[in-house]
Amino acid sequence: MNRKVSKAIFPVAGLGTRFLPATKSVPKEIMTLVDRPLIQYAIDEARAAGIEDFIFVTSRGKSALEDYFDLAPDLEASLEKAGKTELLEVLRNTNMDSGTIAYLRQHKALGLGHAVSCASKLIGDEAFAVILTDDVIAGEKPCLQQMIEAYQETGGAMVATMEVSPEQTSSYGVLDIADQNGPIVKAKGMVEKPAAGTAPSNLAVIGRYILTPQVLANLETVGRGAGGEIQLTDAIAEEIRAGRDVFGYRFDGQRYDCGSKAGFLQATVAFALARDELRDEFAEFLTQMHAVQQAAQ
């Protein structure tokens, strides 16, 4: 069976209300960790994993996102003229070839599953990836690449997974575990945002998926689930019910929940400390801040 994964869907239609008022005019995917928008981290991860076609499911108010991926010839020319070759390189690395990006609109906010199903017609009969830009994952080998490699062995559908505390399971899709083999977890069920105390495990679904076209077909029939929305988790769980394989992959790397303010700030600190040109000055500042905090307590 062909196990090529060359297309990725980026559901970016969410309103980002948790970051109001910033998101009144700036899509949350354009918000930056140090100097790169969240969407750039997602794109870089996808590219590193061999993704060739990028499908954005957008909504009203997201045109800044389309502009971000447009070429900036005037800016490039002025950087070139000024001899700012490093910046020019940074800018050029964000360029995407014509024809590799598709934008389509989700007209109604009916949930993640619905957003993914909006891209059905662009998928065809190969497996595809889904990347949620809120989940930023730092690691030596990009998370999606780890998963695509594992998927070459397993086939089926695969979700990224990690352990969360029992109090947090109600914020996630959660796996019911059949068995485990190293980082690969075979699922016998999956439930979206289980009520407190009812989660089948504490292995949460994190926003990286490798899915088959059959999951798109399932989305047509699953109906509304948790929160009254059409849930991707339900369409994947349907695969298990139909007797097909679904795996969780315990990725190597640090995940930041950039859909929450605390997670976004943690990622900002971590990414700043990872930058050679910022590390010393920023670390010193953090130490001072910490001392001030301690003294005030």
Q: Which helix (H) or strand (E) is 246 found in, with range?
A: strand 246-250
Q: Residue 132, interface with ligand G1P (CB under 6 A)?
A: yes
End-to-end CA distance of the chain: 61
User: Of 94 and 168, which CB lies nearer to ligand G1P in the complex structure?
Assistant: 168
Phi, psi of 195 (to 5 degrees): -60, 150
In one-letter notation, the amino acid at residue 93 is N
Only one of the segments 49-57, 65-73, 202-210, 267-275 lies at the binding site for ligand G1P (rule: CB under 6 A); that segment is: 202-210
Q: Which of 8, 119, 204, 219 binds ligand G1P (CB under 6 A)?
A: 204
Decide: is 249 part of the binding site for ligand G1P (CB under 6 A): no
| Contacts of 177-180 spanning 24+ positions with Cβ under 8 A | 177/201, 177/203, 177/248
The SS3 of residue 55 is: strand
| Residues 55-94 as x/- pattern, contact with ligand G1P by CB under 6 A | ----------------------------------------
CB of 113 to ligand G1P, least distance (A): 8
Residue among 192 and 239 whose Cβ is closer to ligand G1P = 192
Residue 212 interacts with ligand G1P (CB under 6 A)?
no
Among 56, 128, 172, 247, the residue binding ligand G1P under the rule CB under 6 A is 172
Give the binding range for ligand G1P (CB under 6 A) out of 30-38, 51-59, 162-170, 203-211.
Answer: 203-211
Residue from the set 49, 147, 233, 248 that interacts with ligand G1P by CB under 6 A:
233
SS3 of 150-219: the string is HHHHHCCEEEEEEECCHHHHHHCEEEEEEEEECCEEEEEEEEECCCCCCCCCCEEEEEEEEECHHHHHHH
CB 252, min distance to ligand G1P, A: 18
The verdict on 173 binding ligand G1P (CB under 6 A) reads yes
Residue 112, interface with ligand G1P (CB under 6 A)?
yes
- Is 192 a binding residue for ligand G1P by CB under 6 A? The answer is yes
Size of the site for ligand G1P (CB under 6 A): 14
Residue 224 CB-half CA count within 13 A: 6
By Cβ distance, which residue is nearest to ligand G1P?
173
In this chain, which of 27, 37, 142, 207 binds ligand G1P, going by CB under 6 A?
A: 207
**Does residue number 267 form part of the binding site for ligand G1P (CB under 6 A)?**
no
Least separation, in Å, of the C-beta of 204 and ligand G1P? 5
**Which one of 18-26, 44-52, 130-138, 238-246 is the stretch in contact with ligand G1P (CB under 6 A)?**
130-138
Beta-carbon-side half-sphere exposure of residue 195 (alpha carbons within 13 Å): 1
How many residues in total does the chain contain? Answer: 297
Cβ-proximal residues to 194 (8 Å cutoff; 6+ apart), any chain: 169, 170, 174, 200
Task: Name, in order, each residue with C-beta under 8 angstroms of 143's C-beta and a sequence gap of 6 or more.
Answer: 45, 137, 160, 206, 208, 251, 253, 255
- Please state the closest distance from residue 207 (CB atom) to ligand G1P, in A: 4
Q: Is 221 exposed, middle or buried (0-12, 13-18, 19+ CB in 10 A)?
A: exposed
> Which residue carries 């069976």 as its tokens?
1
Question: Residues interacting with ligand G1P, by CB under 6 A?
Answer: 112, 132, 134-135, 172-173, 192, 204-207, 232-233, 259
